[in-house]
Structure formats: structure tokens, C-alpha cells
Structure 1
Amino acid sequence: MAHAIDFSSACSALLFTLSGTLPPAVCGHFVSLAWGWILCLGRPTVSNLVRAMPEKFERHWTCAHRFFSRYRWSMDDLYRVLVCQLIDPLLPAQQRWLVAADDTTAHKVGKHVAFAGKFRDAVRSTPSQTVFHWAHNWVVLCLLIPVPCVRGRFLHIPIFVRLYKKEADCSRPDQFRTRHQLVGEMLQLLRNWLPHREIQLMADGAYAAQELVSALPAQVPLISRLRSDAALFQLPPARRSGKRGRPQKRGTRLPALKNIARYAHFNRHYVWRYGRKELVLLHSFVCLWYAVAGSSPVRVVIVRDPSGRQHDDYFFSTDPALAPVAIVEAYAARWGIEEVIREAKQSLGFEQVQSWSHQAVERQAPFALLLQAVIQLTYIKTHRILDPHPAPANQPSEVPSFARMLAVLRLAKWQERISAALPRPADRKKILRPLQALLATAG
């Protein structure tokens, strides 16, 4: 277990690395507000962040508001440093980047909040009734890092976030982007920053659309859920020499997936998904999903529960060379992005920020996800979770939750702060330890 003071110092080092990409006038603001956000035990309003700062904020408190609403800096610059300088060196050179995409809403109050609109509330909606609420809609990308010593477990680190703006909120028509286009743009930036990395995207069935597939950078395959009523076709037959006319783009249409599954031959495979090893039946084939992938072949995988208690699942990959087991395991690993979003809302106040101006809205909530990534990376580096051959005493038996990581970091910072202000005789330890534990876990 790393020493508490080392944990706090490691986090400070990462924050200073990120601040190096900002203008010199706002570097100090960034580090101070970051620590204030980490230590804040209530709603992350700017006033509460200033109160929670471990050191006194030297500037006027309005400068903290202007950091989000007026000062000139870019979240994309922070993402670039996060990806290229903090995450990429931690991973083996040949490791493929598994990236998950999803979107979420953050409830808002007030008709003057910039870019807010009516969006479907996924929590309160049911299959028979759709509930809408006034909210922001965020599109998030997470990097999935496999934990070497815990088979089937991944660390999910948020690396990109974009605000979806309705067409009426865009100042020019060419500024409007759909959620699928936002995912494509973020992946293109990631591709430009990491040209040496292989990237693979996983997204739920809502992103299985031609708009996303066409927006993806070259050599970035998509793994997603397949519609049960998808119109699938055989590959076009080889063109006979001397035949005139336009080449055939697709072959004969295949039966519905349910009919294919009814008569298909399934093979038994063990897959790691949702934290455990499971026996499943798999049937796979290559075809065309012309409405989504055009003339590019896709691999379809049908997953069947051997006990028959669950319905068949259908998945596809735009890379037909991927093995069926790899497709099933990769899609199951995507689920961690749901936990990342939940933890950001519950532990860092992603949904509770009170910004309303255009620039503050686009910065303040993503700031919470950026800090979530920094806290996770701090824990990874100090506890050596990604060490492929750890000593038996340091080998992790499980991946801690983000709430646990945050509590450990808060405890480390409070130990550093209190220890610097008070002497440490033996008779005061019984008083300080309960106080530090309370400050670390309160929220």
C-alpha cells in the first residue's frame, strides 16, 4: 500500500502536468480549483470549491468563476495531455486501445441555462412510457484498460466528453453535430494524437448507425449490438470475366436473425464478461449489413444461453477478422462506462454544477470527468495496478471502486494538511484518525 502522503503528491504532480498546457496566468487557478473540487463535500459550486481549497485562494473569488466562464483555455488541450502524456506511457506499446462511447443527461433547472433542452430521462422512463426532463446531453468516451492480475476486469477512464447541442442552439447551421458525428470527431482527434495505436470502439445499439460508421477514422472498427430485424445480405458473388454492366453490390438477402438462429449450428465457448467466466453457445458468420456498413463486410455473432433462460443476443463488428469470443467479451466490457457516468454524478457532482453561460457550461461538467481520470491514474501509479508481475504482497485481488479511490485521496490530503499544522505526539493519533476518516468519506 502506498503511503498516504505519496498518494497526494502523485496527484499534485499529475495536475501540474495538465496545467502546463494552459496559459501561465491560469495555471494556478486550475490546480487550486482541482484540489477544491476533490476535497469539496457538497455541491461543486464555485464558491464551495474556493472554500474547500487546501490553501488560500490568492486572487479575488470572482476569478474562480471567470476561470470557467471567460478565461481563454481549451478542454481539448487538457484531453490531449491526459491521453498522450499521462495514459499512453502507462500502456504497452503494442496494446490496442479499447474505447467505449455512450451519452448521458444531466438534469438542470432554469430556462436560461445555455444548451439545455428536453431529453429522454433514462432513469424514469419505462418500456411503455417515455419521460422527458430539462437537461444537458453529454457524449462520453472512456478508455478500457485491462487489469493484468484480475482476469476479466477493466479500469474505465474517461478521456473525452462533448456537449450535444440541438440545432436551434447552434449559431450557424454547419456547427450542428449529431451524437454519432460527435463520437466520430472525438475518435478522429484520438487517432491524430495516437497514430501508432490501434483503436477499437464499443457502443450500444443506439450507435449502430450508418452515420457513425461513415464518420469513424480508417482502421477503427465498431462493435455494437445488432437489431433483430436487420436486413442482412450475402457477400456479392465474384464478377465473371467479360460480364458487362455495373458490378453487383450485395448478394442474396439472408433470412431474419431469429430464423438463422433457429437452424444454426452453435459452438461451445467460455467467455469472460461482467466479472465472471461463463459458458455460452456462439454462431458466427460474415455478411453485409448494407444499411449501416454499406459494401464493407461485417461479422455477426449470435450468443445463446445454454440453459435457455435468456433470449438470444446479436452482435456485430465492422472488422470481420475479429474472433467471435473477442467480440462478445469486448461488448460486455463496454458496460463499465455506465459505472463511470454514475460515479461522476454521485461522487464528483457532474450533474450538480450550476453554470449557465455558454463557455462555463461546456467546461465545468467536463472538468469533473477530467478529475475523475486524474484520480484513477493517481491510484494506478501509486498502487501499481497495471504491473504485469507484481510482488505477492502487492498483487490486487479486486479493482477498488472510484468512491474508494476518492476517499483514499481525500484522506491523504487531509493527513498532509493536518500533519503540517499540528505536532504528532502519540496521544493525538486517536483523535486525528477518526477525524481524517470522517473527512475522507463524508459527502
Structure 2
Amino acid sequence: MLTLPTRIIHVLRHFEEAFSERVWEWAKVLLIGAILAPGERTVAAILRVMGCSDEKQFQNYHRVLNRAIWSSRELSRRLLVLLVCLFVAGNEPVILGLDETIERRRGRKIAARGVYRDPVRSSKEFFVKTNGLRWISMMLLTSIPWAQRVWALPFLSVLAPSERYHEERHMRHKTITDWAWQMILQVFRWLPGRSLVIIADGTYAVLDFLLKVSRLPGVSAITRLRLDACLYDPAPAREAGKRGRTALKGPAQPKLAQRLKDPATQWEKHTLSWYGGTTREMEIATGTALWYQSPVPPVAIRWVLIRDLAGQYEPTALLCTDLHAQAAQIVEWFVLRWTVEVTFHEVRAHLGVETQRQWSDLAILRTTPALLGLFSLVTIFAQQLLDAQAFPVRQAAWYCKTLPTFSDTLALVRQHLWPSAFFSVSSTDADTIQIPRVLFDRFVDTLAFAA
């Protein structure tokens, strides 16, 4: 039996009913072991770190991932509701980041793997391909009180196989925006009555996708916009008695690339929250238009042009499907998208994403979303363990660290788990040895910060 800190038990009770009683006991061992284990997050590594090397029925822990009956989607719903209750006030919009990442995996038995552009290793000059699995992840972008910055907390991740995968199985192929639309619709149903703001990159600047999002009440999307997009004025009112079909659009507006060079463009200076927790003075021009390209009906958008006074950043255009949103707020919301990339890096560096070895289709569909969701769960554990107290940031004589990062957060949770979870599932032999408290604390501190 696991003996866990009381505050962690209270968090886990939100997810207990999603499992049967027997599977839940095995799942808890996998969960705590995934937090404590350094390096690879394989089932074998987790059992070793939990003191279960002599467990003869080890296959039961593998079956939690590849055979047991439980719903990843239900766990995602419970995680999202818990995150919103803890970190988002009832009168504030729920800001959601949407992006995809490639999990580099090889192996002939991994059916859904494909060949994709590696977004990390590629650049404008070099195109790097990689084998792996493509995941679309939705994350809650919210300020963490003790970190004093916005974190991206994953709660729903979906595998998006390649077109070749669907062709070989005679299945209808779903594009990235098809999967994204289903994810947004699911979250819309999970959080009835809440305003949702979806932030994504230019991959999701697709007319039919934006049209669907704009028709959901209380939901808006923010993405990049091409400088050569075809924008139009609203359609004029139909004259009485006029024959023919109703006009969909009015006269064409100048391209955004032309507005950048037009001296008549009205620019306003704003001091904006920028990348890296800094502020930056930028010039902004904005307006409303219909973005139209046959055969998709036009989408009403607010476009925003951003120009850097210092010339360090190239001019950028954004769009928002909420016509009443403030231009400066749109830019600051979009800047939050960078925290999604930070989370993708953190889960690889500290939670072992890309080190798992499952090849069963069901285990693959469950393991990577679970490791991504573990980032959010560790954050919740830390929030509950701190109980509004100051975060004890690790210090050294040569490095003064003012704010905690995720590595500190993971270490804090581990420091509470090692004295309880580890020794409670270790050998039943009553033999003990005594070690000085200073040495014990040093061992725990070293293990807690192990990558």
C-alpha cells in the first residue's frame, strides 16, 4: 500500500473514480514512480524506483497501459476542471494554447509513426526530417502564483497520424485542424458557460477551421495571419427588389503588406508584455475585415499589425475572431503561446517524454498524454503542498535564483514523496540502518533534482 502526503491524496481522489479499484492501485504506483524516476520512464524503471523489483506479477502494471479499461479523455476532463478551479477566476476567460509536437520514435511495430519536419532542428535555411509520432496538445495558459509567471499546463493530447497511415487502412484522413476542432468542441462541452480564447500559430490560420470556431458562442481564436491575405469590407445591405444572389463581401481592402508601407496607416505605440517576462514598446495598427477565399464563406476577423520600433523583430500580423477584442490584448495573449514550447522542452528534460518504449497501439495512445498531463499534475501537487506559503527555491553561493522553475517544482514534490511513498513499498524486511539526518537530507535533495 502507498502512504502518500494527505494533500496529494486529496488531489488524486479527483481521478480515482475513473478506474476500477484494482487498476487504481497499480495506476498509483505508475504515477508516483513516474514522478520519482530519473531518466527513462519505462514501466521497468518505475517498478525499480518504487522498490518493486521482486514483483512477480509485474505484467499487471503493463496491462494498466495496454489492456485495462479506463478513459484518457475522462481523465483529461477531470484534470482540466481541477486546473480551472485552482488557477482561473470565475469571471476571467480560459486561455488555451494549441500546438503540435513530434515525439521521436523508431520501430516497425509503431504503426502510427510517420516522417515529419522537425520543428526544433529545422530553420529557414535547413529542413530536417524525423521519424516519430505527431501529437496535438491543448494546454491551459495561466499564471502560477508562486512562480509569478504564466505556465502552459497540458490536459488534452491527441495523436494525429500521417495521411499515409490512414490511406493504408482505408480511413478518412483528418488534418491537424480537423483534430483541433474536435478538441475545441470537447473543451467547449466540458466548460459550459466559460469564455474560451484559443491561441495557435499560423498552421491553424485555416478558413474553414476559423469559421467553425467563430460560430461557437463565447469562443474566439487568435493565430498568425499572412500579410497577403485577401481581406474585404463587409457586404453592403441588399437593395430592395434587386435580383441575383446576396453579396458575401464588399470591396477589397489593401493587403497588410501594403499597409506596412502606406504612410497613411495609423499606428499607435503600446508597451506590451513580451517574451521572457519583459516589456517592449511596439507600434500597432488594427482594423476589422472579412477574410474570404472561395468556396469557404467569409470569416469576420480583427487584424492586428505589429511593428518593432527598434527593428529587432520583423513585422507580424495576427488575427482574432473576436471583433471586440483590444489589439494590445490580442498581442499579449499571442505572446503567451511561447510557454507551450517551454512545456514541450520541460517534459522531455524532466518527465522522460520520448524515453518510453511501448509499441502497443493502446499503450502509445495513453502513455504520452499521461506524461504530458503529469506536468500539470506536478504543478497541482506543488500548489496544494505549498498551501499559500513561499516557495523554497534552491540556492547556491554562486547562483542566486529568485523564482522557481519546473525543475524546482518537481523537486519539491519529490521531497515530499521520497520519505513516504518510497519506503512504504520497499522490502518488508524489518532490518533498518541509521544514518545522520544531514546525510539523509542530502540524499533526498540529490534524488529530487535528478533529471
Q: Is the pair's TM-score, using the shorter chain for normalization, greater than 0.5?
A: yes
Q: Structure 1, residues 288-307: CA drift from partner, whole Å, max 9, x if none? A: 11139833310011111122
2:319 to 316, 319, 324: 316
> Counterpart of 1:233?
232
> What is the identity, as a one-letter code, of the residue corresponding to 1:49?
I
Structure 2: distance between partners of 1:337 and 1:69:
28
CA distance in 2, matches of 1:417, 1:235: 63
Distance 2:431 2:237 in 1: 81
Aligned: 1:359 with 2:367: no
Alpha-carbon distance in 2 for matches of 1:73, 1:276: 43
Q: Which amino acid aligns with 1:184?
A: W
Q: Which amino acid aligns with 2:165?
A: D
Residue number in structure 2 paired with 1:283: 285
Q: Secondary structure at the match of 1:133?
A: strand
CA contact (8 A) 1:14 1:86 kept: no
Aligned mates of 2:422, 2:159 — CA distance in 1: 39
* Partner AA of 1:438 in structure 2: T
1:414 is aligned to 2:414: no
Give the Cα–Cα distance (whole angstroms) in 1 for the partners of residues 9 and 326 of structure 2. Answer: 42
Structure 1 counterpart of 2:415, which letter?
L
Amino acid at match of 2:407: A
For residues 247 and 377 of structure 1, the distance between their equivalents in structure 2, rounded to whole angstroms, comes to 53
Equivalent residue runs for 1:268-417 within 5 Å:
268-274=269-275, 275-291=277-293, 294-383=297-386, 400-416=404-420
**Contact 1:181/1:211 (CA < 8 Å) preserved in 2?**
no
SS at match of 2:253: coil
Alignment check: 8 A CA contact 1:96 1:200 kept: yes
C-alpha offsets along residues 307-363 of structure 1, whole Å, 9 cap, x if unaligned?
Answer: 234321111101111000110000001110111111111111111111111111101
Asked if 2 retains the 8 angstrom alpha-carbon contact of 1:202 and 1:334, the reply is yes
User: Tell me, what secondary structure is at the counterpart of 1:295?
Assistant: strand
Tell me the residue number matched to 2:165: 169
| Compared CA separation, residues 225 and 395, structure 1 to 2 (3 A) | farther
CA deviation after TM superposition for structure 1 residue 422, in Å: 10
Aligned partners of 2:431 and 2:193: how far apart in 1?
A: 50
Contact 1:19 1:31 in 2 (8 A): no
Distance in 2 (CA, whole Å) between partners of 1:418 and 1:166 is 41
1:170-189 matches, cutoff 5 A: 170=166, 173=170, 176-189=173-186
Task: Return the letter of the residue paired with 1:318.
Answer: T
Whether the aligned pair in 2 keeps the contact of 1:107 and 1:351 (CA below 8 Å) is yes
Query: How far apart, CA to CA, are the structure 1 residues paired with 2:176 and 2:208?
Result: 9
Q: Secondary structure at the match of 1:296?
A: strand
Asked if structure 1 preserves the Cα contact closer than 8 Å seen for 2:211 and 2:299, the reply is no
* CA displacement 1:185-227 (0-9 Å, x = unmatched): 1111111111121111000011111242244360321101111
Distance in 2 (alpha carbons) for counterparts of 1:272 and 1:294? 35
Which secondary structure does the structure 1 equivalent of 2:103 belong to? Answer: strand
**CA distance change for structure 1 residues 53 and 345 in 2, over 3 Å: closer, same or farther?**
same
Q: Write the distance in 1 (CA, Å) between the matches of 2:238 and 2:35.
A: 63
Does the residue aligned with 2:250 lie in a helix, a strand or coil?
Answer: coil
Letter in 1 for 2:27: F
Which amino acid in 2 is paired with 1:439?
Answer: L
Tell me: CA distance 1:59–1:16, structure 2 relative to 1, closer, same or farther (3 Å): farther
Give the aligned length.
430
* 2:241 equivalent in structure 1: 242
Provide Cα deviations, 1:107-131, integer angstroms capped at 9, x if missing partner.
1121221211111112222323322
Percentage identity across paired residues of the two chains? 26
**Aligned CA-pair RMSD:** 2.8
Q: How many Å separate the matches in 1 of 2:45 and 2:378?
A: 20
Residue 153 of structure 2, aligned match among 151, 157, 164: 157
8 A contact 1:124–1:131 mirrored in 2: yes
Return the letter of the residue paired with 2:223. S
Shift of 1:175: 5.4
Question: 1:327–1:25: structure 2 CA closer, same or farther, 3 Å change rule?
Answer: same
Evaluate the alpha carbon distance shift between residue 95 and residue 127 of structure 1 in structure 2; reply closer, same or farther with a 3 A threshold.
same
